[in-house]
Homo-oligomer: A and B are copies of this chain.
Amino acid sequence: MEQRISLAHGSGGKLARDLIEKTIVPRLGNPALANLADAADLDFNGRRLLFTTDSFVIKPLEFPGGDIGKLAVCGTVNDLAVSGARPLWISCGLIIEETFPMSRLERIIDSLSEAAAEAGVSVVCGDTKVVERGSADGLFINTAGIGAPIDGFSPSAIQPGDKVIISGTIGDHEAAVFRAREELGHKLTLDSDCAPLHDLVATMLSAAGSIRVMRDPTRGGVGAVLNELAAHTACSIRVEEAALPIKPEVLGMCELVGFDPIYLANEGKLVCIVSSADTDALLAAMQAHPLGKDAAIIGEVTADERERIYLRTAFGGSRIVSLPTGVQLPRIC
């Protein structure tokens, strides 16, 4: 039977990784793409330049705490930020479904503009396409971003004993989207965490010289990101479930519908791995920043060469956190 694209190919999980690693990258192969980082690290005429892109297909377009316009800025800004770059410019490509209300488009572009101002980036080029009714779902936005490296960040290999830090509560974004979409009927008190992380990253890089790596846990959440970070390192990571910051309403939603919080998407959080020696200084600096006030140490790199993520549960048991194989909720970004 012919193989076809499924929703899971667009998740942060195993099928998505297979599609990228086996189908796409080999066909386009080049060193910049092959390392599958959040942003390509390039030499522009003697100057390092970071370049990244993301398309946004979130549903609904407006959700508690943000909309697709804000998300399209934050997503790309954050890919640059966690790559150690100061975001400079973004592009904006709109694909609009015929009959889309003009007032709604204006509202979303206003939001995109505000988010760009907050993130300190300019939208310098764009494109607008319109497709017939039924050929798209309202509005899709693509942004690509260019950044310049922040001095003082040189990613390095993770080592046993390094600590894993998350910048705040997990799952807020996916939970907010779920609640907006399902119209659960009760008052929405939960907002998406959608926010630009460039300033938090700058603060972190000033505070600690030995940050090994940073990632933003969007699709596939902390579970997917930690698997990516452990790959090809000959190390494993042990995570303490009790240390994961999570809001009670997010945990409640997970229990209600059977989602695993470790795979929930975030849009204003980052995971970093830092040397044991720098951990306290870094954590203090993060907690002093508005976007890092709930930062916590959630685990440690271990010498286990199987490159696995172990979650030590509150009851003292341990389970392996694999790359997610399906998709919990499609179109969360």
Contacts and interface: CB of A to CB of B under 8 A. Distances in A.
A236 B101 CA distance: 36
A183 interface: no
A42 B148 CA distance: 13
A93 B9 contact: no
Contacts of A116: 28
A93 B162 CA distance: 34
A330 to B, nearest CB: 7
Interface string A305-322: 000000000000000000
Instruction: List the number of copies, as a whole number.
Output: 2
Interface string A119-156: 00011111111111011110010101010100000000
Contacts of A5: 96-102, 105, 130
Given A4-B100, A137-B135, A91 B51 contact: yes
Given A23-B106, A102-B3, A9 B128 contact: yes
B142 A24 contact: no
Contacts of A98: 4-7
A124 to B, nearest CB: 4
B55 A142 contact: yes
A59 B131 CA distance: 10
Contact of A53 (B6, B105, B127): B127
Contacts of A122: 28, 30, 32-33
B125 A39 contact: yes
Interface residues of A, number: 80
A19 interface: yes
Interface string A83-111: 00000110111111111111101100110
A30 B123 contact: yes
A182 interface: no
A27 to B, nearest CB: 5
B125 A51 contact: yes
Interface string A46-60: 110101111111010
Contacts of A112: 27-28
A331 interface: yes
Most buried by B among A56, A124, A330: A124
A44 B137 CA distance: 36
Given A5-B130, A44-B44, A146-B146, 11 more contacts: A3-B103, A9-B128, A23-B105, A24-B126, A27-B106, A33-B125, A42-B88, A51-B89, A51-B91, A53-B126, A55-B94
